[in-house]
Structure 1
C-alpha cells in the first residue's frame, strides 16, 4: 500500500501544475518589484516560500492586479493557450522600456492513448527546489542589472494563441522592445507538465 500512496502523493494534474506556475509568477514578480526598487521597501512584507524569505507587496492595488492576471493565466495554462508572460519595467517620465522579464512556458505533458487526463509525477519537493534556485537568481540579479535611477512603473503582457478568447477588459498591445539590450537566462524548472524559462533583458550601457 505504501507504494500506491507514494504514487498518489506525487501525481500532479494539469490544473495543479498551472497553480504551481502561477504561484511562482506571483512570488517571482513580487521579488522583482522589491529587488528593482519599483515601490518603496516599506510597502513590502516578509513571506516564507520555497524555503526562502520573499518580500511581498502589501499594496491592495498591486495584489488585486496580480490576482486578476494570474487567475486568468491559470485558466489559459490549463487550456494550453499561453506561451509567455512578460513583465515590463518602464520609466514613468520618458516611457522608455528599461527592463523586461520574460516567463516562457512550454508544455511537456502528453495525453494517454486511452484519452486519460494528463498527469505528472514529479515530486513537489523537487519542483520547489528548482523554483527556489530561480528565485535565488532573481534576488542576485541586482548585482549585474543597471541601477534604475528614475521613477518606474511595471506592466504585464501575456502572449496567447491567436484563437484565445480574451476578456473585454483586456487590450491588445505591441511587444515592448529594449534598444541595445543584453539578456541573461535564468535556470529553468519543470513540473513535468509545464516547463518555465525565465529571461531578463536590460538596456546595455552605451
Structure 2
C-alpha cells in the first residue's frame, strides 16, 4: 500500500502545476469558443482524454506563460484566492463576462504528509484528470447559452493575490470587476486534495 501511495504522491508544487495547466486550457477554451480570435489561430491538442484548442498567437502564449508561471509560485505559497478572466467591449471598456477560477487550500493526505515531512496528496492523478475533463466539457456546454458577443472584444486576466505579494514588473493593480445586471453560473469543481478549484462565470444579461 505504501508503494502505491508513494507512486501517486502529489506535492504542493505538483498540485499548483495541475491547477495552472487547467487554467491554460480553460482560458484558451473560452477565448476560442467566445470567438475573440480567429479559429485558424488555434491548434487542437489532446488533453484529459478530450480535444482542446490552444492559441498559437505569440502574444497570447507569452501573456499566459508569464501569468501562469507567476501564479504557480503564488499558489504553492497559498497567496492566491482566485484568477478572473474578463472579457471587455473594446470600444466602451465595459466588462461583459467574467470567468472566476477560485482556489481553495486543502490538507492533503495527513498521515502520508507526516511520513514524508511535507504536505502531499495521495489522490489518483487519473481521478483528478477525469474531474478536470468534466469541468472542461461543462465550460463548452455553458458557452452555448451565454449571450452572443456582438461587438469587438478583448480580454484580461486578474490575479487576486494576498497584499504581501511582490508585484512583478509590468503588472499593475486592478480595480474590482463589476458587471451590471449580472447572471452567474456555477460550474463543477475539481480537487487534487491539496487544492480545490471552482469555476464560475458571470455575464451581462442583454437588454
Aligned residues: 204
Give CA deviations for 1:108-160 in whole Å, capped at 9, x if unaligned: 02676789210011000000000000000111122210001111000000001
- 1:185 aligns with 186
- 1:101 aligns with 99
- 2:126 aligns with 125
- 1:39 aligns with 37
Show the 5 A alignment for 1:1-206.
Answer: 3-109=1-107, 116-206=117-207
Q: 1:4, CA displacement in angstroms?
A: 3.3
Measure, in 2, the Cα distance between the counterparts of 1:142 and 1:19: 26
Q: 1:50, CA displacement in angstroms?
A: 0.2
Q: Which runs of 4+ in 1 moved over 3 A?
A: 110-115
Measure, in 2, the Cα distance between the counterparts of 1:139 and 1:84: 21
Q: 1:168, CA displacement in angstroms?
A: 2.5
- SS in structure 1 of the partner of residue 14 of structure 2: helix
**TM-score (normalizing by structure 2):** 0.95
Measure, in 2, the Cα distance between the counterparts of 1:139 and 1:45: 16
Measure, in 2, the Cα distance between the counterparts of 1:163 and 1:65: 23
CA RMSD of aligned residues (A): 1.5
Measure, in 2, the Cα distance between the counterparts of 1:168 and 1:56: 26
Measure, in 2, the Cα distance between the counterparts of 1:135 and 1:101: 13
Q: Which blocks of at least 5 consecutive residues in structure 2 are unaligned?
A: none
